[in-house]
Amino acid sequence: MKILKDKVAKLSFVALLITMTAAMFYTPTASAHGEKSQAAFMRMRTIHWFDLNWSKEEVPVNDTMTISGKFFVFSGWPETVDKPEISFLNIGIPGPVFIRAGSWIGGQLVPRSVSLELGETYEFKVLLKARRPGDWHVHTMLNVKGGGPIIGPGKWVTVTGSMGSFVNPVTTLTGETIDLETYNLSNTYFWHAAWYAVGLLWIAYWARKPLFIPRSIAVEAGKADTLITPADRKVTLAFAVGTIAIIAVSMASTNEKFPITTPLQAGLLRGIKSIQLPVPTVAVKVEDATYRVPGRAMQMTLTITNNGDSPVRLGEFNTAGVRFLDPAVAQDETGYPDDLLAEEGLTVSDNSAIAPGQSRTVQVTASDAAWEVYRLADLIYDPDSRFAGLLFFYDAAGNRQLVTIDAPLIPTFI
């Protein structure tokens, strides 16, 4: 009976090992992201992306595309999220389907982390090189230390061609040109296989001994010391010494072959130039804001005061990357993602031009299925149920003003 239990335990262990090994080689295709699962308050009250442009919707392998635009670092940043004092401009893609050839904020190359200021607006651009064919959801994204990835709007981009033709040539500081896609690949395979073999030998040595049940019985009987024999200690010492020796010899060989090296750069860039937008001449006060659950619509009572010298109208409300437009005032001509664009989603009780010096209280409704599709309505279940967004006002000449709003949001179920 004891022998049978021991064999069952061994077979179970081997089956588990085979399953885990097979899982390592199973890589299902992922084409989009779980941005909808990110907390609504995080998307509404941290980074506001606007004026975004994906230069291409279809790009061949080895060709490039750019994502550019602006982002506003919300001044009412939530207390539960670390401030963007250490941030990294990134792109959200499902794996290495593109490589990032360059990133810029405020015209400055930013290959490393940057420090951003609350209440400031920044212009950015990211250059991407297509690597793997397929349809991919390409997002703007900002990684914040302590706050995680803050994902922005995403658009489907098609990469055509063959991945086998992809090349990534770079010239080193010593003048040598190498292809990073295949450089020293055989050496990489060798060391992966070598250490994998060492691991299998280690597991095989211990797996040939009695496993779970006999060892448990021995421990309970107070004979745990008998489980490790002098031969086991010698084998363990041999593995340890051998591992250290392999590392030392390979490190010495590598240093001899590549005497000139530079460490990875991990400094923090400060003083990133922000955009000095004109001071808005429109003042907005949020009197109240409610979210009507059955109608998937947010209703705001706004008091708008025009302190400028030309009449203005409200044309757009932008929150969490979703744009609600009044088509009579503003229209999208940038090819913005359809699922994030409510072209007729903004209605104003009286959207006639507000004359200079005039103040008007209006009812503004932002309605679209995107509230539920992108789970923005989850905001009403948050302990700090507040919303935030950008309002865009236009004059007769098409000039635009940006005004930020931030207020509590009360749900209604009727």
Residue 154: half-sphere exposure toward Cβ, Cα within 13 Å: 23
Give tens-digit pLDDT for 284-302. Answer: 999 999 998 888 899 999 9
Query: What residue has token string 């409300």?
Result: 317
In the three-class reduction of DSSP (H, G, I as helix; E, B as strand; rest coil), residue 130 is classed as strand
Contact between 96 and 131 (Cβ < 8 Å): yes
Q: What pLDDT is attached to residue 36?
A: 77
- CATH for 282-412, among 3.30.930.10, 3.30.1460.30, 2.60.40.1580, 3.40.50.20? 2.60.40.1580
In what helix (H) or strand (E) does residue 113 lie, and over which residues does it extend?
strand 113-114
- DSSP character string of 318-379: EETTEEEE-TTT----S---GGGEETT-EEETT-S-B-TT-EEEEEEEEE-THHHHTTGGGG
Distance, CA of 30 to CA of 138 (rounded, Å): 12
Sign (positive/negative) of CA torsion 199, 202, 205, 209?
negative
Distance, CA of 326 to CA of 365 (rounded, Å): 10
Nearest to 315, CA basis, from 331, 303, 300: 331
Q: Which segment, 164-173, 200-209, 254-263, is predicted with the most confidence on average?
A: 164-173
Please give the order of strands across the beta sheet that includes 108-109: 47-54, 64-73, 121-130, 98-105, 108-109
pLDDT at 9 over 90: no
Q: What pLDDT is attached to residue 297?
A: 92
Distance, CA of 404 to CA of 283 (rounded, Å): 10
Across 82-93, average pLDDT: 95
Give tens-digit pLDDT for 141-194. Answer: 999 999 889 999 999 999 999 999 999 999 988 899 999 999 999 999 999 999
pLDDT at 353 over 80: yes
Sign (positive/negative) of CA torsion 126, 127, 132, 137?
positive
Q: What pLDDT is attached to residue 293?
A: 85
Distance, CA of 380 to CA of 375 (rounded, Å): 10
Q: What pLDDT is attached to residue 66?
A: 97
Across 72-76, average pLDDT: 94
Distance, CA of 413 to CA of 295 (rounded, Å): 9
Query: What residue has token string 């002098």?
Result: 230
Nearest to 152, CA basis, from 249, 246, 33: 33
* Range in 151-160, 209-218, 382-391 with the lowest mean pLDDT: 209-218
Average pLDDT, the chain: 89
Distance, CA of 81 to CA of 95 (rounded, Å): 26
Across 189-208, average pLDDT: 93
Contact between 151 and 44 (Cβ < 8 Å): no
Q: What pLDDT is attached to residue 224?
A: 77
Contact between 210 and 228 (Cβ < 8 Å): no
Check residue 399 and report its DSSP letter: -
Q: What pLDDT is attached to residue 31?
A: 47
Distance, CA of 78 to CA of 187 (rounded, Å): 47
Domain ranges of the chain: 2-23+183-257, 282-412
| The architecture CATH gives domain 2-23+183-257 | Orthogonal Bundle (1.10)
Across 370-399, average pLDDT: 89
Q: What pLDDT is attached to residue 229?
A: 85
Q: What pLDDT is attached to residue 54?
A: 96
Across 381-394, average pLDDT: 90
Rounded to the nearest 5 degrees, what angle is found at the Cα of 51, between the Cα atoms of 50 and 55?
125
Distance, CA of 103 to CA of 106 (rounded, Å): 10
Distance, CA of 331 to CA of 392 (rounded, Å): 12
Q: What pLDDT is attached to residue 414?
A: 74
Q: How confident is the model at residue 16 (pLDDT cuts 50, 70, 90)?
A: low
Q: What pLDDT is attached to residue 89?
A: 96
Query: What residue has token string 């010899």?
Result: 249
Longest dimension (CA), the chain: 95
pLDDT at 19 over 50: yes
Give tens-digit pLDDT for 25-63. Answer: 544 444 455 667 788 888 999 999 999 999 999 999 999
Torsions phi, psi for 365 (to 5 deg): -120, 125
